[in-house]
Structure 1
Amino acid sequence: MACKDVETPPSGSDDNGRTESIDLDQLGRQRPDVFPNAVYEVLFCSSLLVSMFMAEFFISGFNIILPNVSKALDIPKDSQTWPASVFSLVTGSFLLPFGRLADIHGAYVVFNAGLVWFSIWALISGFSVNYQMLIVARAMGGLGPAAFLPTSIMLLGKTYRPGPRKNLVFSLWSAFAPIGFFLGIITGGATSEYLSWRWYFWIGCIVTFVVCVASFITIPRDRAQTRAENAHVKMDYWGVVTIVPGLILTTFAITDGAHAPDGWRTPYIIVTFVLGVLLLAAAVYVEGWVAEQPLLPFDLFKPKYMARLSVALFFAYGVFGIFLFYASFHIGDFMGASALQTALWFAPMAAGGIIIATVGGFTLHLLPGRLLLIISACGFFVCCILFAFAPIDANYWAYIFPAMVGSTIGVDITFIVSNVFITTNVARERQGIAGALINSLLFVGISFFLGLADLAVSEDEKRGGTEGHKVAFWFATACSAVVLLIFATIKLGKAESELTVEERMQRDGGGEEKQSESAPQTETIATSG
């Protein structure tokens, strides 16, 4: 490694100021030194992108095969929501512990272990002989994404420094979520109609195994380096025993409350909800005042706008979850579309994800972050309000198509901008926790708000309503308005090439990261020479 001096004069000379800009821009565009050639970089990125793809694949497609699975395994109607929801519930609850494990042992071990575990339980799910076995297999499989999703963000955040190359990679990573969602629906519909629902799991197992091979070869082995750099980082066991069961019990109560025999007055719903809230309250106390190294340190939200952005993301991903579930319900049950037709109607989401990723990767450093966030919030608002007004015989091009376009604008732009901002403003030793936070907001947000929407729909049906799903869309519309209001107050700049957190701290003399734009006369940036 050689050192390259980047001059920044105290008075702001144009020539020298331009030198810093040019050097940082070059660093933000070049291939990271950990890759010997472009092939390794492509395979590395592909393994991370497809891991995100598979997580969405096993969420969306399962809803398509669920009717056939319910018939084959004699799943009672009241229990049919569990094979679908338990996967996301387990994933969302275990993200933070696995993020900390990655910060301790390195991303290579945790990421690959998650993929192997995921493929094994996908294989087992295909051999399920009763619904209890399927629920257990889905729950155990949910631990896989809990391991590889935060570590994939960690790997991207640590490998790519701020700049256009990082913007492009994160844009592609975000695009693979709607692509996985779309192909999950296609695969679920095709296997249900032409093969067997078991092949849905086995196809997923095969793809995940191929990803495992690529990741074992191309992901840098960082265990020794991580343990050396983060020798002081420890697991927060008190945080684990309060946060994980707290999230599981609370989300279970919210999700199942509408379907319990006596609704929210059902004893086990009351007990699980109260216990969950108490555990989460205990988690706040433990993380804030007891834990030596909190699982979710409060100073993670210290960078300007981090806390506000996290709240907005929680609402935004909740809106997206409501839209996905109830749009599928409206298209299939009210408009009479087949499984494959439903998948095709969702195609604009996949196509839009690819377009936004491609365009965003090359333009993210040119547009202000606040403008992009406002555009994404408008996308959420449009997709929800269109379905809220859509009649049963709605015209596809007038209602469904623009709603699908709005949804992909909303989720993809939000995902790209927030991922780049969070990973850029978090130190290397906390990239695992940052990745866990991002995905926790996604999975827990979806489960939480979907449970609230389900509760609103059930209450409407109890009062004699015949289009309760419209209540869900109006609820999502209101939540998207909240997202828009919060995003409008977040003044994010352009995602340009800039110093990393460590370089900024080095520049500022090893002290806390400063938010000002001022700089001393000389900055030393380590680059390959």
Structure 2
Amino acid sequence: MAQDTQDRTMSAMAPPDPREGPDGVDTPDTAVSDPEKAAAPMGPATDNNDIERLGRQRPELLRSAFAEFGFVTSIVLSMMMCEYFVSGFNIVLPAIAEALHIPESVRTWPAGVPNLTTAAFLLPCARLSDQYGSRNVFLAGHLWLLVWSLVAGFSVSTEMMIACRALQGVGAAAFMPAGISMFGQTYRPGPRKNLIFAIYGAFACIGFYFGIILGGIGAQLLTWSWYFWIGAIFVAIVVVLGVTTIPTALSQGSPEVTMDWLGATTIVSGVVLVVFALTDGGHAPNGWATPYVYVTFLIGALLLIVSVYIEGWVAKEPLVPPDLFKPKYMKRLCLALFLAYGVFGLFLFYASFYIETVLNATALQTAAWFTPMAVGGMILAISGGLVMHLLSGRILLVISGLGFTLCGLLFALIPERTPSPGAGDQLTPSIDFIYWAYIFSAMVAGTMGIDITFNVTNVFITTAVPWRLQATAGAVINSLLYLGIAFWLGVAELAVATANSGRAAAGDDELPLRSQYQIGFWIGVALGGLATVLFLTVNIGQAAAEMTADEKLAQMAEEEQRHQQLVQTFSNAQAQERQRQQQKD
């Protein structure tokens, strides 16, 4: 059995040479005594016993337990740093806004612009991974993030801060699809892959909380600049770890692959212009009647329409190949993720501001109140990875959809604190009641939403697409996350600005902050409900050990070839029979 598996592995077309070990941890074949030496090869497997065994074993590309530990750690730390620079910035933003004199109407930009640039550049960066190798793009993206994190700490103006944050997002756009691509190319479908992606999701929770804690410390005990500089130090650690542990086989690109420049130009420009108009429209001098707002929106929408035509009918190698959406439920699932991740973005942005400005919590207190989301996320991520091969994906997604809906609903329903009769300045309900009844529950619901969704969909999408589309799949997964956050945050800001404009036209004051934030939460409730309905229609089964997408395609091709041979044999037999009959006649 082992020899047959090895023979099949050597005949695999897509994967890189598994004998190329990670830099600094190469181990000669004759020196390997690890009992998992016969680890999961990256080649075809068709026997059921092989499939189950290989789905649980370490990939042959990773020659030892130490090699696998370093490889996984470097990629999950990259996810941690992405979340660090998203969550923590919302905590440190009030201190930055005060130091750099950032107006209230502009604060959405430094908070949201990394999501915008990340979403816009994910697909072009995924193509770079195909061309030059996922490992190389992964490391280059971290170096880029390192540079602009250092520079951000020295910002002296609003414009400089926004520019640095935008360029940070470009770095994330480079290494996020590359990281998912390397996981997808290395691990076969099965319990081990489920666990790896669960750890990946758990480190998103760790990064989320780590960012909040460091943001609180930077805002309250140090200076806001240290938030960026500490982040830069950890990014440098990721670079060093990646250079020494990621297998060099994953540096191999495909020189024959070309960049779809026309598609890249229209997609990037269209996304940037549309989200810019949505975000700035509410704060422009005349709202959406301001010429630059509706002009940029119309141009952006037109460019996105043109990009669909280019990708579908013009480009020889489109950034978004149609094959990516061939697996059943893929289109519906992508739409549901776009809605669900929008809820997550609205929740993060408005919850942190609600806690600090309406409930008057300190930065460190805010960080402490987010603890259930981080701890619960780690527990859900790891436990989910251990049971995903046992539970239906649809059930898990519906649970996550309900979590998304509930987290926004609880914040929207937090009662207003008013003076208690006969109690002087004491307000009711108490902060303790609000925290345990609403905020704690919302944090638990929020982590149910994001962590279950992230794990289930990552495993499903990377398993459903072939080896050559892993980088593109990683880009689509993350673009849905970041574009969903940026787009729906812009929609919420537009809704708030529209409500305030209506009140101003009637001669009334602007809505109080609590009411403005509630608008964002109610939009999140609506999006969460729609996502849940879509999840109900997505019949994803258990994430069990199975053949890879490439093996399924190869099996189908082999069956088709056998069918053609049988047809040809039958046709030849009929022709020979007719010839014999003619000779007899």
Q: Which one has the largest radius of gyration?
A: 2
1:281 aligns with 2:305: yes
**What is the alpha-carbon root mean square deviation over aligned residues?**
1.9
1:461 aligned to 481, 490, 500, which one? Answer: 500
2:181 equivalent to 1:157: no
Q: Does 1:443 align with 2:514?
A: no
Q: Residue 112 and residue 288 in structure 1: after superposition, are their counterparts in 2 closer, same or farther (change >3 A)? A: same
Q: Deviations over 1:33-70 (max 9, x none)?
A: 12221112111111111111111111121122222222
When residues 295 and 51 of structure 1 are mapped into structure 2, their CA distance, relative to the original with a 3 A threshold, is same
Report if aligned partners of 1:87, 1:139 keep a CA contact under 8 Å in 2: yes
2:185 maps to amino acid: K
The one-letter amino acid of 1:157's match is: G
Asked whether the 8 Å contact 1:116–1:212 carries over to 2, the reply is yes
The equivalent residue for 2:108 is 81
Most deviating of 168-177 and 82-91: 82-91
Question: Is the CA contact 1:103–1:431 (under 8 Å) kept in the aligned structure 2?
Answer: no
Q: Deviation string for 1:72-124 (max 9, x for gaps)?
A: 23334443332222222111100000011111211011000001111111111
The answer (yes or no) to whether the contact 1:25–1:498 under 8 Å persists in 2 is yes
1:472 to partner: Cα distance = 1.8
- The equivalences for 1:7-406 within 5 A come to 20-222=47-249, 225-227=252-254, 231-393=255-417, 395-406=434-445
Q: Deviations over 1:407-432 (max 9, x none)?
A: 10011000100000000011111111
- Whether contact under 8 Å (1:334, 1:392) holds in the other structure is no
The superposition leaves residues 435-483 of structure 1 with CA deviations (integer Å, 9 ceiling, x where unpaired) of 0000000000011111111222222333354312212212211111111
SS in 2 for 1:391: coil
Q: 1:500 to 1:410 in 2, by over 3 A?
A: same
The amino acid of 1:453's aligned partner reads A
Identical aligned residues as a percent: 51
Q: Encode CA deviations 1:463-508: one digit per residue, 9 max, x unaligned.
A: 3543122122122111111111110011111000000011111111
1:465-484 matches, cutoff 5 A: 465-466=511-512, 467-484=515-532
Alpha carbons of structure 1 residues 134 and 508: separation in structure 2 relative to 1, 3 Å: same
CA–CA separation in structure 2 for the residues paired with 1:224 and 1:400: 45
Give the Cα–Cα distance (whole angstroms) in 1 for the partners of residues 558 and 153 of structure 2: 53
- Cα deviation, 1:237-282, whole Å, max 9, x if unaligned, reads 1101100010000011111111111111111111110110010011
Q: Write the distance in 2 (CA, Å) between the matches of 1:311 and 1:224.
A: 32
User: 1:511–1:264: structure 2 CA closer, same or farther, 3 Å change rule?
Assistant: farther
CA distance in structure 2 between the partners assigned to 1:483 and 1:132 by the alignment? 36
Q: How has the CA–CA distance of structure 1 residues 232 and 332 changed in structure 2, closer, same or farther, with 3 Å as cutoff? A: same
Structure 1: how far apart are the matches of 2:416 and 2:356?
11
Give 3-state SS (helix, strand or coil) of 1:491's partner.
Answer: coil
- The unaligned stretches of length 5 or more in structure 1 are 7-18, 513-529
**Contact 1:99/1:436 (8 A) holds in 2:** yes
Q: CA deviation at 1:221?
A: 1.6
Q: Is the 8 A contact 1:105 1:223 kept in 2?
A: no
Q: Which amino acid aligns with 1:53?
A: M
SS class of match (2:542): coil
**Cα distance between partner residues in 2 of 1:485 and 1:79:** 35
Secondary structure in structure 2 of the residue aligned to 1:83: helix
Partner Cα distance (1:4, 1:32) in 2: 13
Letter in 2 for 1:62: F
2:281–2:293 Cα contact (<8 Å) kept = yes
Q: CA deviation at 1:328?
A: 1.3
Aligned mate of 1:413, from 442, 452, 455:
452
In structure 1, C-alpha distance between the alignment counterparts of 2:145 and 2:455, rounded to whole Å: 25
Render the CA deviation track for 1:315-370: whole Å, top value 9, x for unaligned: 00001111111111221111111111111111111111110111111100000111
The aligned length equals: 498
Are the equivalent residues in 1 in contact too, given 2:88–2:213 (CA < 8 A)? yes
CA gap 1:468/1:225 in 2 versus in 1, 3 angstroms: closer
In structure 2, C-alpha distance between the alignment counterparts of 1:371 and 1:174, rounded to whole Å: 19
TM-score for the superposition, normalised by structure 1: 0.91
Superimposed CA distance per residue, residues 274-328 of structure 1 (whole angstroms, 9 cap, x where no aligned partner)? 1100100110111111111111122311100000000000000001111111111
Report what 1:9 is aligned to.
Answer: none
Counterpart AA for 1:96: L
Q: Distance in 2 between matches of 1:224 and 1:68?
A: 41
Residues 505 and 511 in structure 1, CA contact (< 8 A), matched pair in contact too: no
Corresponding residue of 1:16: none
Name which of structure 1's ranges 111-120 and 394-403 shifts more when overlaid on structure 2: 394-403
**Given residue 65 of structure 1, which amino acid in structure 2 is its aligned partner?**
V
For structure 2, list consecutive stretches of 5 or more residues without a partner in the other structure. Answer: 8-45, 418-432, 561-585
> Displacement, 1:71?
2.7
CA distance in 1, matches of 2:253, 2:160: 38
Q: Which amino acid aligns with 2:176?
A: L
Work out the CA distance in 2 between the residues paired with 1:327 and 1:232. Answer: 47
* 1:491 maps to which of 521, 539, 556: 539
**SS of the residue 1:4 aligns to:** helix
1:523 matched to which residue of 2? none
CA–CA distance in structure 2, aligned partners of residues 5 and 141 of structure 1:
43
Shift of residue 131, structure 1, vs aligned partner: 2.7
Report how far residue 376 of structure 1 moved: 0.6
Structure 1 residue 505 corresponds to structure 2 residue 553: yes
Deviations 1:107-153 (A, max 9, x none): 01100000111111111111223332222222222211000011111
CA contact (8 A) 2:182 2:250 kept: no
One-letter amino acid matched to 1:194: L
